[in-house]
């Protein structure tokens, strides 16, 4: 028997009583959403497995034999109740449940540079003008006061190579001239967020699902009231709106990061006090090499785009 060490209130076990998936339910996640999340994380076709509620109170000892009937996932908008569930074959027999090896791309919280590249400055200004509020909370920008608001890249600049290999630029419809050759600085790759929402977005703690009416899911305990809200969309034309496929990609990464048994794959401390050098602080931290590479890529990629 193995259990994840991170804090969760929904646990999915296999027939050998090992935790294979899980998440924190804040109240908005339905079984139809779980069907999508399992499609992302489990490599078996969905017809080969089923989910059953464990009947033992507390931490189960025999989930493969002590469970209720299977739960219909598809089209089931009932809320998932906290507790333990077991994933078995469709007829209730123990089954090897292979979990994908795909991992979320690492990203670090992006900090505004004091002298940004002109394309980043244009990106920030255009995102501000289009959204005029935090798209997660709906908090409006006080006229001329953007101190608490940040223009966030949906797809991180640090992964310009993946942006190019994935041909994301070909999906951008934005006709603004100064978005870079790759178009990674298009307003379609940006959203305006309050600073704390930006941190949560970059850490995959929250994500926006455009296929669920742009609903926001918090994958961690929701002390800030993000979960279950809906993204605020501006009245701008479609070719200036955030690209749905980019939001969907970020959502997929958040599911991969949070749903698998080991929990968040990149959970480092982002609390760097003002005035401190982020590179110096990060390079001395846990997993410092990876974080250092991300920060340097974010700083240097605008120069080669």
Task: Note the pLDDT tens digit of each residue in 186-240.
Answer: 999 999 999 999 999 999 999 999 999 999 999 999 999 999 999 999 999 999 9
**Cα 225-19-262 angle, rounded to 5 deg:** 65
2 vs 22, residue with greater confidence:
22
User: 71-78: long-range contacts at Cβ-Cβ below 8 A with a sequence spacing of 24 or more?
Assistant: 71/31, 72/31, 73/31, 73/32, 73/34, 73/35, 73/38, 73/46, 74/32, 74/35, 75/32, 76/30, 76/31, 76/32, 76/35, 77/30, 77/31, 77/32, 78/30, 78/31
Encoded tokens for 152: 């966030």
Rounded Cα distance between 178 and 121, Å, is 10
Percentage with pLDDT > 70 across the chain: 83
Tokens (6 digits) for 198: 């930006």
pLDDT the model gives residue 180: 76
Chain position carrying tokens 């955030």: 242
Question: Over the stretch 118-140, which tens digit does the pLDDT of each residue have?
Answer: 888 999 999 999 999 999 999 99
Q: How far from chain centre, in Å, is Cα 221? A: 14
Is the four-CA dihedral 110, 116, 118, 121 of positive or negative sign?
positive
User: For residues 182 and 271, which has the higher predicted lDDT (pLDDT)?
Assistant: 182
Cα→Cα distances 89→2, 21, 49, 51, 95, Å: 20, 16, 4, 9, 6
If 0-12 CB within 10 Å is exposed, 13-18 middle and 19+ buried, where does residue 42 land? buried
> Residues near 23 by Cβ (< 8 Å), separated by ≥ 6?
8, 10, 29, 37, 219, 258, 259
Asked whether the beta carbons of 43 and 96 are under 8 A apart, the reply is no
pLDDT tens track for 185-200? 999 999 999 999 999 9
HSE of 197, CA atoms in CB hemisphere, 13 A: 27
Report the alpha-carbon distance of residue 212 to residue 153 in Å, rounded: 21
Is residue 291 predicted with pLDDT exceeding 50?
no
């Amino acid at each position: 028997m193995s259990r994840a060490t991170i804090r969760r209130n929904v646990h999915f076990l296999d027939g050998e009583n090992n935790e294979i998936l899980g998440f924190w339910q804040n109240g908005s996640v339905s079984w139809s959403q779980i069907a999508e999340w399992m499609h992302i994380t489990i490599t078996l076709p969905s017809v080969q497995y089923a989910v059953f509620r464990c009947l033992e109170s507390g931490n189960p000892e025999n989930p493969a034999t002590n469970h209720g009937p299977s739960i219909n996932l598809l089209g089931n908008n009932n809320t998932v109740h906290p507790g333990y569930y077991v994933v078995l074959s469709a007829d209730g027999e123990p089954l090897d449940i292979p979990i994908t090896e795909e991992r979320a791309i690492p990203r670090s919280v992006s900090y505004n540079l004091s002298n940004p590249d002109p394309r980043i400055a244009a990106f920030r200004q255009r995102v501000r003008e289009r959204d005029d509020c935090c798209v997660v909370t709906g908090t409006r920008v006080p006229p001329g006061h953007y101190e608490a608001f940040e223009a966030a890249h949906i797809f991180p600049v640090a992964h310009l190579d993946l942006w190019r290999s994935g041909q994301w630029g070909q999906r951008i419809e934005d006709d603004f001239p100064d978005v870079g050759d790759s178009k990674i600085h298009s307003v379609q790759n940006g959203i305006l967020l309050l600073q704390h929402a930006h941190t949560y977005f970059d850490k995959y703690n929250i994500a926006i699902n455009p296929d669920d009416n742009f609903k926001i899911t918090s994958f961690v305990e929701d002390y800030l009231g993000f979960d279950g809200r809906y993204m605020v969309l501006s009245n701008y034309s479609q070719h200036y709106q955030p690209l749905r496929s980019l939001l969907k990609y970020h959502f997929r990464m958040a599911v991969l990061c949070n749903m698998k048994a080991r929990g968040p794959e990149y959970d480092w401390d982002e609390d760097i006090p003002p005035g401190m050098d982020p590179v110096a602080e990060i390079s001395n931290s846990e997993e410092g090499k990876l974080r250092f590479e991300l920060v340097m890529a974010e700083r240097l990629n605008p120069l080669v785009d």
